[in-house]
Structure 1
Amino acid sequence: MPDDLGEQPEETGSPAGEVSARVGIKVGGAEVAFTLSVPSGTVGPEVLLPIARGLEEIAERVAEEAVERSGKAISCAKGCGACCRQLVPISPLEAHQLRELVASLPKPRRSEVRDRFTEAIRRLGEAGLLEAMRDPGAVPVADCKRFALDYFD
């Protein structure tokens, strides 16, 4: 693996319109090498989001394997739902893509999901948490843990 954890783009093996590079990263002390392909032209951030998600999944997998090798277990898994009961920050780009996903759902399901969002907004307002969620910078760092616990409750 190269010292700078990256190499020059490869000219072969990439589909037209893509550039590939052999990349190495360290995750929790473990070195991981893979080939990363990206569009060669100008693209919007929505095209790069799946690439970022893929990198996050690699880091997550390496971290999970390290925990398992240490003899410990991870209590949550995909589909467990605990994320639904705690604050999970998302980027504006992810929020935009979520909005597009909901808009693309068939009408009965789209209405159901929108109704759930409307209900969540109502409940956050009643709990006095809505304004802080709209402006996360309004919550002082020292109060973040309390805010997260209030949200959980």
Structure 2
Amino acid sequence: MAEQRYPMTAEGKQKLEQELEDLKLKKRPEIIERIKIARSFGDLSENSEYSSAKDEQSVVESRISEIKTMLQYADVVDVSQVDANEVAVGKTVTFQEADEDPETYQIVGAAESDPLHGKISNESPIAQSLLGQKVGAEVEIMTPGGSFMVTITAVNN
């Protein structure tokens, strides 16, 4: 079975590497120390500090595993290999719906998506509709809330 690939920008990969380092070198040791301290309180069956620390340890270990997998199967995009006017992962696209203000988003891998900061996942309905299109193209974007037409006005690296 082929492994899932994780498209991401070089910046997104670097952020994941930093998060992994922080989790392994700071967060994990802090939790281990909390578990040690909580164990010293005695009966573990009614020890809320111990339960809380173990729960947090589980979350941190899951995130470490998830990040390791994403980094192992990362596909770092090279926007220089794509036509300058073509929408691709790693590029910033500006589009406009008739009589509306233009919207600008960077299309990134799902792991680094942050819509509130203008970064949308390549798996989102908007990105899926825009990927491969070029400046000037009129594109129908299908979303769960309905469809709408936009014109791509700019694509930048």
Establish whether TM, by shorter chain, passes 0.5: no
The TM-score normalised by the length of structure 2 is 0.22
- Which of the two has greater strand per residue? 2
- TM-score, length-scaled by structure 1: 0.23
Higher normalized helix content (fraction of residues): 1
